[in-house]
Structure 1
Amino acid sequence: MTILNPGTQSQSQTGSAGAKIIGTGVGEGPGPDVMTATTLAGNKVVTSDGEHVGKISEIMLDVRGGRIAYAVLSNGGFLGMGDTLHAIPWSALTLDTDEKCFRLDMTAERIKAAPGFDKDHWPSMADAQWGSSVHEYYNRRPYWQSIQDSVEDGPLEH
């Protein structure tokens, strides 16, 4: 459900699998409920204690399930060298349209302690055990358990 009232906050809740949206409304273009991944990549991430902990470098898609699985946070390093990457469940993020950033309801210290990886050693993100541990760290239900598919695989029959 999306509520848009001029001068008030827009809040979109797509269920437990989607990111929340806060802000004062819709800008130019298709957003904020439907946006290109490239529009969101590069957005900074701000923690609950107000610290800028990095930027979204990638948005990972569950191709078979047709969902966004994770946002990859890049932090640390210099000019892309030595960055630590963190897979963050999409449902753990809130898009702030006013500040043009993502908010994460977690302290900077907790993010810095989160399991991470580097650009040359990505985890197997399709592995359910790995995914469950990531979702547990961020106190989120795994995205593949969060929504009930109402349509069987394959095209609709007419």
Structure 2
Amino acid sequence: MNTEYNFPISSSTAANCTVKTLRDESVGTIKDIMLDTETGEVAYVIIAVDSGFLNLGSKLLALPWAAFDFHGHQRDVIVINVEKEKLENAPGFDNDEWPVGPQHEFINKVHTHYGFDRRRAFIE
């Protein structure tokens, strides 16, 4: 994630932005931001995919927070630093089948798929 500018963004502001690839292709919008209750950090971000993008239908994709660049030149666009090919086989789910229960495995799968490290809680 681009950290040149260091300021907070509200979840409602993020949810109103269009998510695009580095090639300026519209992917969808942020549907939700999932928090890790152990670390207090964002576990992953849910994107509602635009119908027609990669023929994924209404699939929801989960991406690590680190995959997003919130500091682009357009205030209403958030860019994901992920190749289109990674999105085709991305961890995701249907709107009526969100992951439930302990999610360590799913969170690890999301981060591993995109090649980002997952932060872990320090437990003594």
TM-score range relative to shorter protein: 0.7 to 0.9
Mapping for residues 82-93 of structure 1, pairs under 5 Å:
83-93=58-68
**What CA distance in whole angstroms lies between the structure 2 residues aligned with 1:107 and 1:39?**
24
Give the secondary-structure state (helix, strand or coil) at the position aligned to 2:29: strand
1:20 and 2:6 are equivalent in the alignment: no
1:50 corresponds to which of 24, 27, 30: 24
Percent of aligned positions that are identical: 28
**What CA distance in whole angstroms lies between the structure 2 residues aligned with 1:107 and 1:132?**
19
Structure 1 residue aligned with 2:69 = 94
1:105 and 2:77 are equivalent in the alignment: no
1:144 and 2:110 are equivalent in the alignment: no
**What CA distance in whole angstroms lies between the structure 2 residues aligned with 1:118 and 1:134?**
15
Q: What RMSD, in angstroms, separates the aligned Cα atoms of the two structures?
A: 2.6
TM-score, length basis structure 2: 0.78
**What CA distance in whole angstroms lies between the structure 2 residues aligned with 1:111 and 1:88?**
9
| Cα-to-partner distance string for 1:37-89 (whole Å, 9 max, x where unaligned) | 111113111112221111111111123422122111111349xxx52101111
Structure 2 residue aligned with 1:40 = 14
2:50 corresponds to which of 68, 71, 76: 76
Alpha-carbon offset, residue 140 of structure 1: 0.2
Gaps of 5+ in 1: 1-18, 26-31, 154-158
TM-score, length basis structure 1: 0.63
In terms of fraction of residues, the more helix-rich structure is 2
User: Contact 2:72 / 2:79 at 8 angstroms: preserved in 1?
Assistant: no
Give the secondary-structure state (helix, strand or coil) at the position aligned to 1:143: coil
Give the number of the structure whose alpha-carbon radius of gyration is greater: 1
User: Contact 1:70 / 1:87 at 8 angstroms: preserved in 2?
Assistant: yes
Alignment CA distance shift 1:20-1:144 (3 Å): farther
Counterpart of 1:107, as a letter, is E
